[in-house]
């Protein structure tokens, strides 16, 4: 069983794919544009991405490059073009395999199994099942199961607190600007700083720390927020 992201703008192809994958006991999320796909993989650890090459917003090759810029998750390209030169380029750009449409459920399943086996055999990559948990010091965040533990103790987080923590845990030590938190975690293009501050203070309390004596969550005034293991 794998957690799969389907990136496909054609609603018919998309629902067929979702049906095939869920029938095979995989869990699936689906989006119709490359930008949505980038947002998804930045926030959730997938085992595999199935990427359609003909997306409305970005060229397939561009989309793959951008995906590769943020994640090592295995990518199977689904292409209507049986163009060998293009397929070779994509494999060189970091695709793990490809399927030429239309393909059968059996074919898809065989390719997926092979790709997942290869990735797992090579010791996994970030995002692969054995490596799902994000660890920052004594903090463990499991984006797949939406659970977080601090020093082995389960944290009771609201949805937003979890999203915020998981987002920061994916980039430990990196100062994330507030504006980025707002767009990536809250999915708003504008808003006031108070929204973030309030959630940060709740999250802080659950982590057993205060703004005056931070351990994991550090606010840099006027700059942003970072999550870092205590020294
Ligand atoms: Ca398409």
Asked whether the predicted pLDDT for residue 190 surpasses 80, the reply is: no
SS3 content of the chain, % helix, strand, coil (to 5): 40, 20, 40
pTM of the model: 0.55
Q: Cα(52) to centroid of ligand 1, in Å?
A: 6
Q: Cα(188) to centroid of ligand 1, in Å?
A: 27
CB 67 within 8 A of CB 49: yes
If one compares 222 and 126, the residue with the highest pLDDT of the two is 222
Asked whether the predicted pLDDT for residue 89 surpasses 70, the reply is: yes
Residues of the chain with CATH 1.10.10.10: 134-227
Pick from 91, 106, 110, 22: nearest CA to 51? 91
Residue 9 CA to chain centroid, in angstroms?
19
Q: Cα(47) to centroid of ligand 1, in Å?
A: 22
CB-based contacts of 31: which residues, under 8 Å, 6+ apart? 5, 6, 7, 37, 40
CATH architecture of the region 134-227: Orthogonal Bundle (1.10)
Asked whether the predicted pLDDT for residue 114 surpasses 90, the reply is: no
Instruction: Tell me the average pLDDT across 56-83.
Output: 88
Categorize the per-residue pLDDT at 117 as very low, low, confident or very high, splitting at 50, 70 and 90.
confident
The Cα 81–Cα 54 span in angstroms is 9
Q: Cα(154) to centroid of ligand 1, in Å?
A: 42
Asked whether the predicted pLDDT for residue 50 surpasses 90, the reply is: yes
The Cα 112–Cα 89 span in angstroms is 20
Find out if CATH 3.40.50.2300 is the number for domain 3-121.
yes
pLDDT at 129: 39
Residues of the chain with CATH 3.40.50.2300: 3-121
Q: Cα(11) to centroid of ligand 1, in Å?
A: 9
Asked whether the predicted pLDDT for residue 217 surpasses 90, the reply is: yes
Give the mean pLDDT of the chain. 87
């Amino acid at each position: 069983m794998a957690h799969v992201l389907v990136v496909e703008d054609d609603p018919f192809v998309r629902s067929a794919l979702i049906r095939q994958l869920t029938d095979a006991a995989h869990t699936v999320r689906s989006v119709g544009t490359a930008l949505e796909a980038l947002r998804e993989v930045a926030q959730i650890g997938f085992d595999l991405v199935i990427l359609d090459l003909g997306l409305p917003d970005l060229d397939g090759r561009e989309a793959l490059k951008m995906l590769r810029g943020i994640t090592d998750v295995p990518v199977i390209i689904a292409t209507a073009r049986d163009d060998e030169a293009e397929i070779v380029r994509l494999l060189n750009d970091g695709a793990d395999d490809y399927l030429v449409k239309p393909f059968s459920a059996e074919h898809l399943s065989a390719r997926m199994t092979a790709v997942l086996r290869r990735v797992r055999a090579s010791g996994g990559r970030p995002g692969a099942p054995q490596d799902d948990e994000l660890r920052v010091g004594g903090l463990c965040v499991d984006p797949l199961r939406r659970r977080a533990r601090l020093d082995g103790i389960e944290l009771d987080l609201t949805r937003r607190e979890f999203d915020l923590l998981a987002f920061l845990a994916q980039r430990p030590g990196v100062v994330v600007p507030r504006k980025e938190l707002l767009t990536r975690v809250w999915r708003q293009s504008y808003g006031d700083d108070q929204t973030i501050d309030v959630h940060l203070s709740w999250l802080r309390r659950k982590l057993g720390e205060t703004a005056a004596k931070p351990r994991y969550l550090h606010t840099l005034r006027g700059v942003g927020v970072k999550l870092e293991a205590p020294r």
